[in-house]
């Protein structure tokens, strides 16, 4: 077990045009109470003047704002925060999270597991009650089904279930394996980081120390983010050299390899091109099953693979 005197935790929150006043106030309550908790760094990724003013108003007494003059993306913002952090442990959380209890309890849970692994994933929960607005059902339904899982389940595939929305990483590890900054848009920067951690033989331990995801996008906004993330994933698959190992880190990639073996990937791309609009209208209603959403995402990924494979074809969506 680490000597508590040697543990210094920096909390890093990348943010873009999102109200984090309540989150920061809740976490700030543990500064001076939990000795190992030393600072909160807010990474403002070129937000609007109104939000920037709000972040700056949170500064002081252990809270600092690290601003970018132009939007550099989540990966680069996280790397920038890590360089500024004084702690030897980096606690990354997303801006649209909520503490289920006190910050003190949350931090002490992480501290109790230090020494067991250099990377600790706390997990994510969603509200038990479905959103009253049907236009936000898609994100809630899928997150509840696929992302809200106990640590015992996540530890069965620790690298596949890795996510950076709530993770504590030793700075000594992060200084060697950083986020890939060429990914400017939303999605899958954590998939590549997980792949790098696996290749480096760095253990990931999942624990039950969840934060609650509150930032539910509209169904249309979520579909747009899914598109960006799947485009990123396809580009990453082209960039990695060990494609077999990379594919083993994610269910979608394992499924895609199976579809390729069965010569079905081109068929799914064709289905997407022909029926995309109908599928999205159905998904925007919020009434379709999670399996239909998985099928839609798989069809989209197969389409992007064809686009990126042929290179000279312009994306049609």
pLDDT tens by residue, 215-229: 899 999 999 999 999
Q: With respect to residue 197, please indicate whether it lies within any of the assigned structural domains.
A: yes
Q: With respect to residue 36, please indicate whether it lies within any of the assigned structural domains.
A: yes
The reported pLDDT for the residue numbered 286 is 87
pLDDT of residue 1 exceeding 50:
no
Q: Supply the DSSP string of 53-111, one letter for each residue.
A: HHHHHT-BTTEEEEEESS---HHHHHHHHHHH--SSEEEEE-TTEE-SS-HHHHHHHHH
Interior/surface letters 122-147, b for 16+ CB within 10 angstroms, e for the rest: bbbbbeeeebeeebbbbbbbbbbeeb
Q: With respect to residue 316, please indicate whether it lies within any of the assigned structural domains.
A: no
Q: Do 117 and 256 share a domain, yes or no? A: no
pLDDT of residue 238 exceeding 70:
yes
pLDDT of residue 28 exceeding 90:
yes
Start-to-end C-alpha separation, the chain: 52
Q: How confident is the model at residue 314 (pLDDT cuts 50, 70, 90)?
A: very low
Q: Do 138 and 234 share a domain, yes or no? A: no
Q: With respect to residue 258, please indicate whether it lies within any of the assigned structural domains.
A: yes
Higher per-residue confidence, 25 vs 191? 25
Domain count, the chain: 2
Sign of the torsion angle spanned by Cα atoms 203, 213, 280, 134:
positive
Q: Which of 168, 201, 216 is the last residue of a domain?
A: 216
pLDDT of residue 68 exceeding 70:
yes
Rounded to whole angstroms, the Cα distance separating 134 from 137 reads 5
pLDDT of residue 312 exceeding 70:
no
Sign of the torsion angle spanned by Cα atoms 102, 209, 195, 90:
positive
Radius of gyration of the chain (CA): 20
**What secondary structure letter does DSSP report for 218?**
P
Q: Do 173 and 231 share a domain, yes or no? A: no
Per-chain mean pLDDT for the chain: 91
Residues 89, 173 contacting (CB under 8 angstroms): no
Q: With respect to residue 315, please indicate whether it lies within any of the assigned structural domains.
A: no
Q: With respect to residue 113, please indicate whether it lies within any of the assigned structural domains.
A: yes
Q: Which of 177, 194, 216 is the last residue of a domain?
A: 216
CA angle 28, 163, 119 (to 5 degrees): 75
Sheet order of strands, 204-206 included: 63-68, 37-45, 9-15, 89-93, 166-170, 119-121, 204-206
pLDDT tens by residue, 134-187: 999 999 999 999 999 999 999 999 999 999 999 999 999 999 988 887 766 677
**Residue tagged 């030897």 (tokens):** 88
- Segment 244-263 shows an average pLDDT of 89
The reported pLDDT for the residue numbered 221 is 94
Residues 126, 98 contacting (CB under 8 angstroms): no
Element (H, E) at 212: strand 211-213
Q: With respect to residue 135, please indicate whether it lies within any of the assigned structural domains.
A: yes
Q: Do 242 and 195 share a domain, yes or no? A: no
Smallest CA-to-CA distance from 93 within 24, 17, 195, 196 is with 24
Give the CATH number for residue 25: 3.90.550.10
What tokens appear for 277 in the block?
């609009």
The reported pLDDT for the residue numbered 303 is 94
Residues 141, 135 contacting (CB under 8 angstroms): no
Strands 63-68 and 89-93: unpaired
The reported pLDDT for the residue numbered 317 is 42
Q: Do 84 and 199 share a domain, yes or no? A: yes
Lowest mean pLDDT among 107-116, 161-170, 237-246: 237-246
CA angle 255, 261, 267 (to 5 degrees): 75
The reported pLDDT for the residue numbered 309 is 75
Q: Do 196 and 271 share a domain, yes or no? A: no
Q: How confident is the model at residue 301 (pLDDT cuts 50, 70, 90)?
A: very high
Q: Do 135 and 254 share a domain, yes or no? A: no
Q: Do 166 and 200 share a domain, yes or no? A: yes
The reported pLDDT for the residue numbered 179 is 85
Q: Which domain holds residue 306?
A: 222-310
Q: Do 249 and 212 share a domain, yes or no? A: no
Q: Do 114 and 210 share a domain, yes or no? A: yes
Q: With respect to residue 232, please indicate whether it lies within any of the assigned structural domains.
A: yes
Element (H, E) at 166: strand 166-170
| pTM metric for this prediction | 0.90
Q: Do 127 and 211 share a domain, yes or no? A: yes
Q: Which of 159, 192, 216 is the last residue of a domain?
A: 216
Q: Do 94 and 209 share a domain, yes or no? A: yes
The reported pLDDT for the residue numbered 91 is 98
């Amino acid at each position: 077990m680490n000597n508590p005197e040697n543990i210094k935790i920096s909390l890093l929150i990348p943010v873009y045009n999102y109200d984090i006043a309540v989150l920061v106030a809740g976490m700030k309550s543990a500064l001076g109470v939990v000795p190992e908790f030393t600072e909160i760094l807010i990474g403002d990724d070129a937000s609007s003047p109104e939000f920037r003013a709000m972040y700056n108003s949170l500064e002081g007494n252990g809270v600092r704002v690290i601003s970018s003059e132009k939007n550099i993306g989540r990966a680069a913002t996280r790397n920038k925060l890590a360089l500024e952090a004084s702690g030897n442990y980096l606690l990354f959380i997303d801006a649209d999270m909520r503490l289920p209890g006190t910050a003190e309890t949350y931090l002490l849970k992480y501290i109790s597991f230090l020494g067991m692994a250099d990377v600790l994933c706390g997990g994510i929960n969603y509200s038990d009650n479905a959103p009253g607005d049907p236009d936000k059902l898609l994100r809630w339904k899928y997150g509840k089904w696929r992302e809200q899982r106990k640590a015992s389940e996540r530890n069965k595939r620790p690298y596949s279930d890795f996510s950076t929305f709530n993770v504590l990483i030793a700075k000594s590890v992060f200084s060697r394996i950083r986020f890939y900054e060429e990914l400017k848009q939303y999605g899958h920067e954590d998939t590549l980081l997980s792949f790098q951690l696996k290749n480096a033989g760095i253990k990931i331990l999942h624990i039950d120390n969840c934060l609650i995801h509150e930032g539910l996008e509209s169904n249309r906004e979520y579909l747009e983010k899914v598109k960006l993330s799947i485009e990123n994933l396809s580009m990453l698959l082209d960039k990695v050299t060990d494609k077999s190992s990379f594919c083993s880190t994610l269910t979608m990639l394992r499924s895609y390899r199976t579809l390729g073996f069965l010569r079905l990937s081109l068929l799914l791309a064709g289905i997407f091109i022909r029926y995309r609009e109908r599928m999205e209208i159905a998904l925007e209603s919020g009434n379709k099953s999670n399996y239909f959403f998985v099928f839609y995402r798989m069809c989209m990924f197969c389409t992007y693979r064809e686009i990126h494979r042929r290179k000279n074809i312009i994306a049609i969506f």
